[in-house]
Amino acid sequence: MILVTGGAGFIGSNFVLDWLAQSDEPVVNLDKLTYAGNLDNLASLSSDPRHIFVQGDIGDVALVNRLLTEYKPRAVLNFAAESHVDRSIHGPEDFIQTNVVGTFHLLEAVRAYWNGLQGSDKSAFRLLHVSTDEVYGTLENSDPPFNEQNRYEPNSPYSASKAASDHLVRAYHHTYGLPVLTTNCSNNYGPYHFPEKLIPLVIHNALNGKPLPIYGDGQQIRDWLFVKDHCTAIRRVLSAGKVGETYNVGGWNEKPNLEVVHTICAILDELKPRADGQSYNSQITFVKDRPGHDRRYAIDATRLEKELGWKPAETFETGIHKTVQWYLDNQPWVENITSGQYRQWVEKQYQ
């Protein structure tokens, strides 16, 4: 049995689906179901006894204590977080509450549980904390990619809150001996990605005849990883990672934002041409830049590749094609989540 937090979100739900596709080990899935949590992602597991869904907060110590005592997981994987940089700029408080205070409470509950374990149950137990490359700050175009030795220099309320959670996880290892692992991954994309983030937002807006908003000059660089490759990396770190260590996860796929958007437009032009014969590129609109916008992220995943033998299966070209096709095939999923609350966010952000 494993306990996954945030398993109804984008990466967490991909992880749960992927885990149960290749293992019969059951999953307890604790998720608060914020605007970003969506049980539709897990609809294929609705009558699967290997998946136990519990709605709740990682900061609810009594609830987490109860789940740990009842299910006795051999590992806890923490995906739960507020994850959108732009939302953290409009309202940082939820980020502090979940990413910092919530992680602290989760660590306290897990520490008490782990202290009570004995023998091989105790030595085999792991807490895997899922984090981001954004904790390292921003790179110049001439800088080498981030490796695990880079200093933490977070620039947004989101990345600062994730950095704080990483530090707490580290401290619980050094101070209490808690067997932790941390992964710092680059930008994910793929199925079930909430359309507030660049790639799903652009696909959604393109298909609905809306502007494709590019912040600033569109030359900011991100390093893109297909979500399934992130899931295989997490499984690999869980099974073979060295306790107390951190592992950078990335796809060696650095792309300027504008190029990503052009690529999506070209795929849509081929798969679902506009009725008027024009390219979706004509919907591109430059808008005000994100405050404090990090210019470039890039991940050096050598350690994960050399020490644990992990490699991404997808290139950006194959992964983005699958992603666009998934959105075309799953329009009802998109329609369900782009109602009420989502529209209010879009109005606030892009007015």
Catalytic positions? 133-134, 158
Instruction: Locate 219 and state its tokens.
Output: 């030359």
Q: Which of ligand DAU, ligand NAD, none sits in contact with 236, Cβ below 5 to 8 A by type?
A: none
Binds ligand NAD by CB under 6 A, chosen from 4, 28, 67, 81 = 81
Dihedral of CA atoms 336, 338, 344, 345 in degrees, nearest 10, equals 130
Dihedral of CA atoms 254, 255, 256, 258 in degrees, nearest 10, equals -170
Q: By CB under 6 A, which span of 90-98, 172-180, 209-217, 264-272 interacts with ligand DAU?
A: 209-217
Distances (CA, A) of 197 to 23, 193, 342, 344: 30, 8, 12, 15
Task: State which residue has the least CB distance to ligand DAU.
Answer: 132
Concatenated DSSP letters of 129-152: EEEEGGGG----TTSPPB-TTSPP
* Total residues in contact with ligand DAU, by rule CB under 6 A: 19
User: Is 296 a residue that touches ligand DAU (CB under 6 A)?
Assistant: no
Binds ligand NAD by CB under 6 A, chosen from 98, 150, 155, 253 = 98
Task: Identify which of residues 245 and 259 has a Cβ nearer to ligand DAU in the complex.
Answer: 259
Q: Which of ligand NAD, ligand DAU, none sits in contact with 220, Cβ below 5 to 8 A by type?
A: ligand DAU
User: Is 201 a residue that touches ligand DAU (CB under 6 A)?
Assistant: yes
User: Is 301 a residue that touches ligand NAD (CB under 6 A)?
Assistant: no
27 has which bridge partners?
Answer: 2, 51
Binds ligand NAD by CB under 6 A, chosen from 45, 67, 77, 80 = 80
Instruction: Locate 58 and state its tokens.
Output: 């990682």
- Closest to 34 (Cα-Cα) out of 6, 60, 62, 61: 6
Give me the residues that bind ligand DAU (CB under 6 A), please.
83-85, 132-134, 186-187, 197-198, 201, 213-215, 220, 222, 257, 290, 297
